[in-house]
């Protein structure tokens, strides 16, 4: 029996190529996080799509660890209709605002850390 | 009983906390559960030998009902370790009532214990790795609730000062509770000036980190009437789940407490205006605000204005979290069992300086995860059954 390639491994393979990917159902409706079956309200089979990377800040906070610089944590509503957690990096953590237009950039794998998407302000779209 | 539980068919008859705050060195989760069970049985006058149903949840125990049964040396007919975070115990109440109504058990204990403070949080609660959230280092659960607060601020104009009023009200109630961890007054300015954890929530917008545990005893309404203390009858229960992780919560300003509350009110045949005392899981100040809205005490978006001017503090228009809450009384990590205890004590009229006069109905609302698992219990005195 062959082992299936996990949804996470496939997601990360896109990221390795610099692409943020998400799944769509049989009617093109977005699904995120990646999974092995279409959740209720969606129709299988699921297929992968590469995202435009464009989105809007839906919710935002920043964390101020003792003795370390603050960092942003945000939920981003992507133009394709799915939402993910990430951070906005191109502005100070406490200056990120709901409604800001942002664009994804892949932060490459580093040490034991897998690659993951971060976001920058989309100046042109303001 | 077909398809739903029966209003008033079971009651909470015994309640007790274990040691709270910072417990003695070497005290274990089951030691604290044991203290709770002993106290709750003493409270109602039932014996350990009569317990034939065991319900338990704990962040530090993988099989808590087994751990507790082994510790107590009992082999109950029915046991249940349902785990959904802080609202587990409200769900245990519903499950226990179902088991009691179905004849699967007659005397149920519901127990909790945590040593997160004395053991050190990093030693007791390893978080599951989530490849879609963990890399971004949210301080869970504070950052999840902070994200919800950011959205509420954005949509409804809610302010940090309004959230701070919730912490101040909790503290004022706590000052009337001899068992409360916090002993000093708190001001809005002090909340705002405290260390920021995850904006807009400061350390004073966040629940305490204490040890503690406790237990409840439940039995049939019939048996309940012959016991030591006035029973708190289960008038209504409701469940609502909407997600596990905050990135999958559909609308960060609306919780599944709307659904769980609606079910509980329907079963109880009561409206929010008919509830005398409101006990809700206040993991963070924003949590109280969201539940006041979603349980129908004010319209969606009005929570900030609703709590202003000491409205939920002693002497205000609505008594909320009369024990001082997770913000100022105790918070060992899964606080729901204490929410239920305070509701029962208010109905019995045994709350001393913090007693709400003429308390006949109480709502006890639990929250688990990142606003994920909502579970509501409505309790009433004998007059309401």
Whether residue B137 and residue A73 make contact (CB cut-off 8 A), yes or no, is yes
**Of B365, B16, B336, B372, nearest in space to B179 by CA:** B16
**What are the backbone angles phi and psi of residue B91, rounded to the nearest 5°?**
-70, -35
**Of A33, A53, A35, nearest in space to A44 by CA:** A35
What does each C-alpha distance from A22 to A26, A78, A106, A116, A119 come to in angstroms?
13, 10, 14, 13, 16
Whether residue B147 and residue A94 make contact (CB cut-off 8 A), yes or no, is no
Is B85 within 8 Å of chain A by CB?
no
Which residues of chain B are within 8 Å of residue A21 when distances are taken between CB atoms? none
Write down all domains in chain A, each with its CATH number in brackets.
7-125 (2.40.50.840)
Is A48 within 8 Å of chain B by CB?
no
Cα B385 from Cα B382, distance rounded (Å): 6
The tokens 């909502």 sit on which residue?
Answer: B374
Q: What are the E-state strand segments in B230-383? A: 232-241, 277-280, 361-368, 373-380
Peptide bond into B201 cis (omega under 30): no
CATH architecture of the domain covering B10-121+208-384: 3-Layer(aba) Sandwich (3.40)
The SS3 of residue A24 is strand
- Chain A nearest-CA residue for B195: A64
Q: Where are the domains of chain B?
A: 10-121+208-384
Whether residue B143 and residue A116 make contact (CB cut-off 8 A), yes or no, is no
Cα A119 from Cα A88, distance rounded (Å): 5
CB-based contact B58:B112 (threshold 8 Å) = yes
Is B163 within 8 Å of chain A by CB?
no
- Chain A nearest-CA residue for B137: A73
**Of B213, B210, B207, B212, nearest in space to B328 by CA:** B207
Cα B68 from Cα B74, distance rounded (Å): 9
**What are the backbone angles phi and psi of residue B196, rounded to the nearest 5°?**
-75, 130
Which residues of chain B are within 8 Å of residue A8 when distances are taken between CB atoms? 131
Whether residue A73 and residue B148 make contact (CB cut-off 8 A), yes or no, is no
Whether residue B199 and residue A61 make contact (CB cut-off 8 A), yes or no, is yes
Is B151 within 8 Å of chain A by CB?
yes
Which residues of chain B are within 8 Å of residue A114 when distances are taken between CB atoms? 131, 135
Q: Which two tokens stand for residue A73?
A: 């944590």
Q: Which two tokens stand for residue B31?
A: 């030691």
Whether residue B198 and residue A62 make contact (CB cut-off 8 A), yes or no, is yes
Is B121 within 8 Å of chain A by CB?
no
Q: What is the ipTM of this complex?
A: 0.96
The SS3 of residue B351 is coil
Cα B86 from Cα B254, distance rounded (Å): 18
Cα B369 from Cα B186, distance rounded (Å): 27
Q: Which of B135, B150, B200 sits opposite A113 (nearest CB)?
A: B135
pLDDT per position in chain B (385 positions), as tens? 578 999 999 999 999 999 999 999 999 999 999 999 999 999 999 999 999 999 999 999 999 999 999 999 999 999 999 999 999 999 999 999 999 999 999 999 999 999 999 988 666 767 789 999 999 999 999 999 999 999 999 999 999 999 999 999 999 999 999 999 999 999 999 999 999 999 999 999 999 999 999 999 999 999 999 999 999 999 999 999 999 999 999 999 999 999 999 999 999 999 999 999 999 999 999 999 999 999 999 999 999 999 999 999 999 999 999 999 999 999 999 999 999 999 999 999 999 999 999 999 999 999 999 999 999 999 999 999 9
Is B252 within 8 Å of chain A by CB?
yes
The shortest C-alpha distance from B326 to chain A (Å) reads 22
CB-based contact B13:B219 (threshold 8 Å) = yes
φ/ψ bin of A77: left (φ > 0), alpha (ψ from -120 to 50), beta (otherwise): beta
């Amino acid at each position: 029996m062959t082992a299936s390639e996990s949804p996470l491994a496939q997601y990360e393979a896109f990221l390795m190529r610099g692409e943020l990917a998400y799944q769509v159902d049989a009617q093109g409706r977005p699904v995120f996080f990646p999974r092995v079956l279409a959740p209720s309200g969606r129709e299988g089979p699921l297929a992968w799509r590469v995202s435009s990377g464009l989105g809007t800040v839906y919710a935002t906070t920043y964390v101020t660890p003792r003795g370390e610089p603050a960092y942003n944590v945000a939920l981003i509503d992507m133009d394709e209709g799915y939402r993910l957690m990430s951070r906005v990096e191109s502005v100070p953590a406490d200056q990120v605002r709901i409604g800001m237009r942002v664009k994804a950039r892949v932060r490459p794998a580093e040490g034991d850390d897998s690659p993951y998407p971060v976001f920058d302000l989309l100046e042109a779209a303001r | 009983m077909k398809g739903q539980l029966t209003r008033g068919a079971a009651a909470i008859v015994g309640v007790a906390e274990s040691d709270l705050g910072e417990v003695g060195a070497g005290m274990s989760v089951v030691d604290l559960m044991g203290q709770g069970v002993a106290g709750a049985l003493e409270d109602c006058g039932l014996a350990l030998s009569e317990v034939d149903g065991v319900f338990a949840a704990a962040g530090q125990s993988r099989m808590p009902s087994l751990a507790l049964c082994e510790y107590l040396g009992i082999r109950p007919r029915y046991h249940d370790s349902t785990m959904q975070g802080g609202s587990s115990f409200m769900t245990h109440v519903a499950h226990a009532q179902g088991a009691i109504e179905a004849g699967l058990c007659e005397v149920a204990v519901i127990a909790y214990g945590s040593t997160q403070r004395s053991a050190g949080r990093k030693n007791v609660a390893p978080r599951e790795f989530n490849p879609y959230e963990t890399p971004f280092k949210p301080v869970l659960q504070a950052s999840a609730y902070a994200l919800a607060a950011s959205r509420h601020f954005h949509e409804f104009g809610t302010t940090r000062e309004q959230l701070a009023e919730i912490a101040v009200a909790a503290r004022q109630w706590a000052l009337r509770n001899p068992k409360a961890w916090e002993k000093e007054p708190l001001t809005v300015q002090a909340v705002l000036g405290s260390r920021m954890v995850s904006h807009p929530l400061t350390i004073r917008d966040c629940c305490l980190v204490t040890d503690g545990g406790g237990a409840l005893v439940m039995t049939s309404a019939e048996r309940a009437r012959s016991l030591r203390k006035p029973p708190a009858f289960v008038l209504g229960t409701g469940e609502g789940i909407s997600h596990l992780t905050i990135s999958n919560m559909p609308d960060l300003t609306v919780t599944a407490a709307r659904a769980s509350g609606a079910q509980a009110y329907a079963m109880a045949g009561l409206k929010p205006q008919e509830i005398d005392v409101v006990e809700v899981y206040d993991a963070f100040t924003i949590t109280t605000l969201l539940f006041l809205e979603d349980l129908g005490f004010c319209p969606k978006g009005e929570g900030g204005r609703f709590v202003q001017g000491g409205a939920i503090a002693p002497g205000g228009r609505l008594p909320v979290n009369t024990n001082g809450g997770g913000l100022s009384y105790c918070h060992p990590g899964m606080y729901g069992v204490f929410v239920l205890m305070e509701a029962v004590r208010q109905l019995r009229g045994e709350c001393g300086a913090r007693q709400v006069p003429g308390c006949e109905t109480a709502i006890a609302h639990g929250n688990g995860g990142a606003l994920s698992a909502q579970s509501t219990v409505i309790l009433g005195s004998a007059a309401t059954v």
